[in-house]
Amino acid sequence: MTTTAQSSLKPSIKDLFSKNTDYKFPEQAINQAESLKALSNDLYTDNVRFIYELIQNADDAEAHDVVISIMEDKYLIVAHDGKPFNEKDLQGLCGVNNGTKKKNLEKTGYKGLGFKAVFGKSDLVYVNTNSEWFRFDSSYRIKWSELWGTKDQETWELNSDRQFIYPWQINPIWTSQAEVPNVIRTYITLKCYRSQVAYIILLNSSDEIRSAIDQLKEQPYTFLFLRNISKITFDMKHLDILSIVYDMDCCLKKISFNQEMISQWFIKRLKLDVPETVRCNLAKDRKVPEKLKFIKIAEVFLAARYFDPIMDENNYLVNDGSLRKLNENESILFSYLPTKITEYKFPVLINANFLINANREQIHTGK
């Protein structure tokens, strides 16, 4: 794990933990915990989208290289070489709608919810950044407050006939290296030594996540519109490397898998003026995120499948290089990562900052 010169996050982690466990009544903690539990479970029912979210976070951190692995058939590891966490990143991770991307048009996320999807798949998540560790741990017991009316948690649960839970999903726990399983520390040191951030997620079911990763490897064009990532290493039973290279002179993006080029895409970037009447309507709409409310220019990207010229054995041109229309089942809308919107049947892929729902699958209707 690469270390950069910045102050330790330890004081911020401990301060956040203190603030996020300071409740006047235990019922307040339970209500917030149940809300976060429902949010995490419902946010991404599709396991592929759960992986998308982690990749998007890496892309928004300006990562170029990402490593994805399942270790010991139980730990999902996603590591990247983007920016390490700072205090604002930590606050965004431990809050709701308090992310660092809300006003930044160069970042894909804006809802401040995405990382919470992790907790629908896991009850224990380690985070390593700048050689420091913290974790989110559902089994961790917070100190019982004397102000809550009973001497301990067990007595309160007996009297209330209710289990006490607290919102562990927003409570970072400072973690020493000695508290991290040795197998995790060894993997991060040996396999992710260039990484600035690593998420280590103890999976409730590794089979379904492994299947989702296999599906991603079979659909590499899904990463076509990422802003920064150019390499994804899948360190599973076999080592597979996905590469994305942008040839700016030709406006071509070339996608390779294990050094074999599998597709090329001609990319056209359009800048569209947003009329004042549209901006006024956006400003009044409470569903519209802040970063889109006052936008004056909207970017739209079109991607057309491109095939190289074909030469015969005598080096004669058989077929010119050409653009090909997409099949109907290939035509989907992107909001930097693919949605599930397929009904428009466009002949090219279209990517834009669409106003999408929380799980990033559909556009808000009527927008």
297-324: per-residue pLDDT in tens? 999 999 999 988 766 677 765 666 789 9
Q: Which helix (H) or strand (E) holds 32?
A: helix 26-43
Count of domains observed in the chain: 1
Question: b/e map of 149-169 (b: 16 or more CB within 10 Å)?
Answer: ebeebeebeeeeeeebebbbb
In a domain? residue 366 = no
CA 245 – CA 247 distance, rounded (Å): 6
pLDDT of 249 over the 60 cut: yes
In a domain, 361, yes or no: no
Which pLDDT does position 263 carry in this prediction?
94
Q: Does residue 364 sit within a domain?
A: no
Lookup: tokens for 248: 């700016």
What local confidence, expressed as pLDDT, does residue 196 receive? Answer: 96
Residue 229 within a domain: yes
Which carries the bigger pLDDT value, residue 117 or residue 181?
Answer: 181
Helix (H, G, I), strand (E, B) or coil at 275: coil
User: Considering the domain boundaries, does residue 52 fall inside one?
Assistant: yes
- Give the pLDDT of residue 107: 63
Residue 260 in any domain: the answer is yes
Q: What is the pLDDT of residue 48?
A: 84
**CA angle (72, 73, 76) in 5-degree steps:** 90
Contact 44, 55 (CB under 8 A): no
Query: Is 0.95 surpassed by the pTM of this model?
Result: no
Question: Tell me, what's the pLDDT at 359?
Answer: 64
Q: pLDDT of 350-365, one tens digit each?
A: 999 888 776 667 776 6
Q: What is the DSSP string of 144-193?
A: PPGGGSSSSHHHHHHHHTS-----GGG--EEE-GGGS-HHHHHHHHHH-T
In this prediction, residues 124-144 reach a mean pLDDT of: 96
Q: Which of 361, 367, 366 is nearest to 117 (CA)?
A: 361
Is-contact 138 149, C-beta < 8 A?
no
**What average pLDDT does the segment 135-152 reach?**
94
Per the domain annotation, does 365 fall within a domain?
Answer: no
Which pLDDT score is estimated for 86?
94
Residue ranges making up the domain that contains 120: 10-352
What is the rounded distance in angstroms from the CA atom of residue 325 to the CA atom of residue 327? 7
In the predicted structure, residue 229 carries a pLDDT above the cut 90: yes
Domain-embedded: residue 2: no
Q: The CATH number of the domain where 217 resides is what?
A: 3.30.565.10
Strand 349-352 vs strand 333-335: parallel, antiparallel, or unpaired?
parallel
